[in-house]
Amino acid sequence: MIPVNVGVVGCGKISDAYLQASATFPVLNITACADLALAAAQALGSSYDLEVLSVDALLQRPEIEVVLNLTIPVAHAEVNLAALAAGKHAYCEKPFGLDTAEGRGVLAAAEEAGLRVGCAPDTFLGGSHQTVRGLIDDGAIGRLVAGTAFMMGSGHESWHPSPDFYYQPGGGPMFDMGPYYISALVNALGAVKSVAAIGSRAYEVRTIGSEPRAGETIAVEVDTHLAGTLEFHSGALVTLVMSFDVIAHGHSHIEIYGTEGTLIEPSPNGFGGAISIAKRGDPPAATPDQRWRDLPLSHGHAGALRSIGLADMCAAIRLGRDHRCSGELGFHVLEIMAAFDRSSRERQRVEIESHPQRPAPLLASLVEGELDPSDAAS
C-alpha cells in the first residue's frame, strides 16, 4: 500500500505519543509539522526529522494528503475546516468540537468537499476493546441489557501546570474523558437513542496545587460531577458517571450486563488491560470475587498505539472503504456529551438525533501495524 503523507498541526504534549506510535503503521508517512508556537514545531520537527512549516505553508503543500489536527479543543473545528478548504482530509483529537453546531459545520464541509474527517479517540481499536466487541458479537453474554461506566477522580489541579481549561466550557470531566468511555460503549453496544442526566459541582473554586501557580484559585464554570443513563437503540441502558469530585472509588471502568453473563472491560483510556467474565451457570464460587474469570485477548494492538485511528483512516483512503474513527462517530459522541449538560439544565430526557453505524470490528488475525487483511492491502 502506498503510504499517505501526513502533516501535523499542533505540536504539544500529545504529539509525541502520535509520532512514536506512527512508526508501527507502514501506511503513515508523517513528513511535516506546524504550530502557532514556532518553538513547539521546531522541537517536534527536530525529534522526528519533520519539515517545520507555518500552518498556512503546510496547508498549501500539495504532497500532504491528511492533516493531523492535535491542537487544543477550541481550535479543532477551525483547523479541520482550514484543512478541508485546502483540499486535505482531516483527523483531529477529541472532542470533535466545543458544541454540536461546530461539529455539524465540519461534517457538512467534509461532505461538500468529498473529503474524509476522522476523530480520536482510537483506543476502542485496542486489543482489549476489540476482544470485548468480539465476545459481544459472538453472543458470549447473550442479549445486552444494561451496563455501568465510571470515570471518577479529584481533578487535575494537583498536578497540571495550567489546569484552568478543565473548569471552563469545553472542559469538565465529560468533555475531557467522556469521548473515551462513550466511544468504547458505542463500539460495544451501538448507537445511543437518548440521555437522561443530572450534574452538580462540589466546589465553586479550585486551588492549584502544582507549580508554578500553586495556591492560585480557579473559578469552576462547569459541572464537575455528571451522572446519567444512556438509552441505546438496542434497548440496553448504561449508567455513566464522570466526576472530578471524588477522592477514591471501587467501581470497574466499564461493566456490560447481558442475559447470559457480565463482562468487565478495562479503562477505555488505554488499548489493553484485563477482561473478566462471569456467566449464568458458572460453578458456584467460594467468594464473590472468585466468580470472575480473566479472558485472554483475541486481538493484538494492545500497546500504546495512539495513531491507529489515523492509520485506519489512511488505509481506508487507499482501499476506498469506511474508516472507523469517523467524523460521524465523533459527532455522535459530542452530541451525547452535550445532551448530558442539556438534560441536567432542562431537567428532562434528551433525544439523540445522530445514529452512526457501529465501526466495523478489526479482524483478530491482523499482524501488528496492519488494519486490513494482507490480500486487501497488497
Cβ proximity to ligand NAD, 73 vs 309, nearer residue: 73
Cβ proximity to ligand NAD, 79 vs 256, nearer residue: 79
The distance of closest approach from Cβ of residue 5 to ligand NAD in the complex, given in angstroms and rounded to an integer, is: 19
Q: Does 36 bind ligand NAD (CB under 6 A)?
A: yes
The distance of closest approach from Cβ of residue 49 to ligand NAD in the complex, given in angstroms and rounded to an integer, is: 19
Comparing C-alpha atoms, which of 334, 316, 327 is closest to residue 372?
316
Q: Which of 4, 6, 8, 10 binds ligand NAD (CB under 6 A)?
A: 10
Cβ proximity to ligand NAD, 18 vs 340, nearer residue: 18
The distance of closest approach from Cβ of residue 200 to ligand NAD in the complex, given in angstroms and rounded to an integer, is: 23
The distance of closest approach from Cβ of residue 247 to ligand NAD in the complex, given in angstroms and rounded to an integer, is: 22
Q: Rule CB under 6 A: which of 16-35 touch ligand NAD?
A: 35
The distance of closest approach from Cβ of residue 37 to ligand NAD in the complex, given in angstroms and rounded to an integer, is: 4
Q: Which of 12, 26, 142, 303 binds ligand NAD (CB under 6 A)?
A: 12
Cβ proximity to ligand NAD, 71 vs 267, nearer residue: 71
The distance of closest approach from Cβ of residue 83 to ligand NAD in the complex, given in angstroms and rounded to an integer, is: 11
Cβ proximity to ligand NAD, 161 vs 373, nearer residue: 161
The distance of closest approach from Cβ of residue 56 to ligand NAD in the complex, given in angstroms and rounded to an integer, is: 10
The distance of closest approach from Cβ of residue 72 to ligand NAD in the complex, given in angstroms and rounded to an integer, is: 5
Give the Cβ contact number of residue 311 at 10 Å.
28
Q: Rule CB under 6 A: which of 54-93 touch ligand NAD?
A: 55, 70-73, 75, 79, 93
Nearest-CB residue to ligand NAD? 12
Cβ proximity to ligand NAD, 55 vs 107, nearer residue: 55
Q: Does 360 bind ligand NAD (CB under 6 A)?
A: no
Q: Residues touching ligand NAD: how many (CB under 6 A)?
A: 19
Q: How far apart are CA 174 and CA 188, in angstroms?
A: 19
Kindly report the length of the chain: 378
Chain centroid, CA 8 distance in Å: 18
Give the Cβ contact number of residue 43 at 10 Å.
18
* 181: its cell numbers: 468511555
Q: Does 13 bind ligand NAD (CB under 6 A)?
A: yes
The distance of closest approach from Cβ of residue 115 to ligand NAD in the complex, given in angstroms and rounded to an integer, is: 19
Cβ proximity to ligand NAD, 27 vs 70, nearer residue: 70
Cβ proximity to ligand NAD, 9 vs 241, nearer residue: 9
Query: Residue by residue, what is the 3-state secondary structure of the chain?
Result: CCCEEEEEECCCCCHHHHHHHHCCCCCEEEEEEECCCHHHHHHHHHHHCCEECCHHHHHHCCCCCEEEECCCHHHHHHHHHHHHHCCCEEEECCCCCCCHHHHHHHHHHHHHHCCCEEECCCHHHCHHHHHHHHHHHCCCCCCEEEEEEEEECCCCCCCCCCHHHHHCCCCHHHHHHHHHHHHHHHHHHCCEEEEEEEEECCCCEEECCCCCCCCCEEECCCCCEEEEEEEECCCCEEEEEEECCCCCCCCCCEEEEECCEEEEECCCCCCCCCEEEEECCCCCCCCHHHHCEEECCCCCCCCCCCCHHHHHHHHHHHHCCCCCCEHHHHHHHHHHHHHHHHHHHHCCCEECCCCCCCCCCCCCCCCCCCCCCHHHHC
Cβ proximity to ligand NAD, 79 vs 174, nearer residue: 79
Residues in contact with ligand NAD by CB under 6 A are: 9-14, 35-37, 40, 55, 70-73, 75, 79, 93-94
